[in-house]
Amino acid sequence: MDRTTYQSYLGILSEELVPALGCTEPIAIAFASAKAREVLGEFPEHMDIFCSGNIIKNVKSVTVPNSGGMRGIEAAAVLGAVGGQAEKELEVLEGVDQEACEKTRRLLQENFCTCFLQEGVANLYIRVECVGKTHRASVTIEETHTNIVLIQKDGKILFKKEDSAEKDVHQEQDKRDLLNVADILKFAEEVKIDDIRDIIGRQVEMNMAISDEGLRHHYGAEVGRTLLRAYGDGISVRAKARAAAGSDARMNGCSMPVVINSGSGNQGITCSLPVVEYARELHASEEQMYRALVVSNLVAIHQKKYIGSLSAYCGAVSAACGAGAAIAWLNGGDYEAVSKTITNTLANTGGIVCDGAKSSCAAKIASAVEAAILGYTLEKDDHSFLPGEGLVRDNVEDTIRDMGYVGRVGMKSTDVTILNLMIEQEETVK
């Protein structure tokens, strides 16, 4: 593999596989809020939060970590302002204490914070405006969860990403444009293990830890624990239960960090934990497991570059598809076997809708992992879905590209419909 591609793939893993505390959308709001308070230089008297529909959808029903069970945009924003540490970015709420939670609850009762839907912006858009006794400040995030594009204070621009920012975005896009299944497999087989040991090792350690927590204790609907109770502890069940349990915990307030993939903790859990379970079942060495996790993570990111950060397409599918590819590779599968596993998975569950972050994400993860395992099992028995059947194309790259187009473009109206129904439901409940 040429050095440019090798370094690009390493860079992608380094950028994507980072720790985050709790669901990344409320954490992004808390980060923006903590940063706005920092810029303001005093504690605000009022806050306004402007969010894209996808942010609202993904924060509405999820528990904010370290909040004592609080949910929603206002809770995330106020807690970020009260006790967040902006320098910690996606771990902004790590140091929040009971006093901060109590103050947040008081402020929420006083209508200290107001949330507004911002239309005509990127799918991932957050703007926090803080008004103090003597100053005003605002922070805007776009495209990715910690990507601050604008900071203002008292009407003056303190920071703005302009041409240089656009250049950086294009560079990132070009780097990810190098991704393809054949080169991902080549990289996984050739990469120096010391180059990935820390990145992948951290993913295994953190994501297994939160899965253990979800399997030991009651969180949400207990999807992971229910799978084991109902269906035993065979490898396919363990693979699903491991991933689901991690989501059970993080969607329902567990304060333990996870290593994300494509900006999502659930996707980071889904593309890693089933692979770890299969590696252990096969008595694979640590090096083999790490190389398999490289396959899984990069295949997931490869798909996600076509779908986009937030959409109506459930990211558990692309993440589980990565896990399926890695499981096929761990079992000795070559490029053709991995490609057929990916195709079989996408032809099955591609297009599961995302209706926000919440407890049922764990069930969707279990379904997506089941589809990936089935996709590999079909391939192993020399069965696969054929070109011309639905969105299946002549090669795996075209199939991935077309499925991504459906998620990014074709499901836009679906996304709007889901959001409108969720907002209407919230108003009805109130």
Judged against a pLDDT cut of 70, whether residue 164 lies above it is answered with no
Q: Are residues 148 and 206 in the same domain?
A: no
User: In angstroms, rounded to a whole number, what is the distance separating the alpha carbons of residues 6 and 308?
Assistant: 24
Which CATH number covers residue 148?
A: 3.30.1330
Q: Are residues 159 and 205 in the same domain?
A: no
In a domain, 342, yes or no: yes
Q: Are residues 309 and 399 in the same domain?
A: yes
In a domain, 100, yes or no: yes
In a domain, 404, yes or no: yes
Q: Are residues 250 and 161 in the same domain?
A: no
Q: Are residues 332 and 184 in the same domain?
A: yes
In a domain, 170, yes or no: no
Residue at a domain's end among 165, 194, 215: 165
Task: Report percent pLDDT > 90 for the chain.
Answer: 80
pTM of the model as a whole: 0.88
In a domain, 232, yes or no: yes
- Report the pLDDT averaged over residues 271-279: 98
User: In angstroms, rounded to a whole number, what is the distance separating the alpha carbons of residues 356 and 420?
Assistant: 12
Number of domains in the chain: 2
Q: Are residues 91 and 237 in the same domain?
A: no
**Backbone angle region of 389, left / alpha / beta, with phi > 0 → left and psi within -120 to 50 → alpha:** beta
In a domain, 117, yes or no: yes
In a domain, 428, yes or no: no
At 326-377, the pLDDT tens digits run 999 999 999 999 999 999 999 999 889 999 889 999 999 999 999 999 999 9
Side-chain-side CA neighbours of residue 361 (13 Å): 35
Q: Are residues 198 and 219 in the same domain?
A: yes
In a domain, 12, yes or no: no
Q: List the domain range (segments joined by +) for residue 133.
A: 20-165
Q: What is the pLDDT of residue 103?
A: 96
* pLDDT range class, residue 425, cuts 50, 70, 90: low
- Given a contact cutoff of 8 angstroms between Cβ atoms, the answer to whether 123 and 416 are in contact is no
How many residues belong to the chain? Answer: 430
Q: Are residues 355 and 288 in the same domain?
A: yes
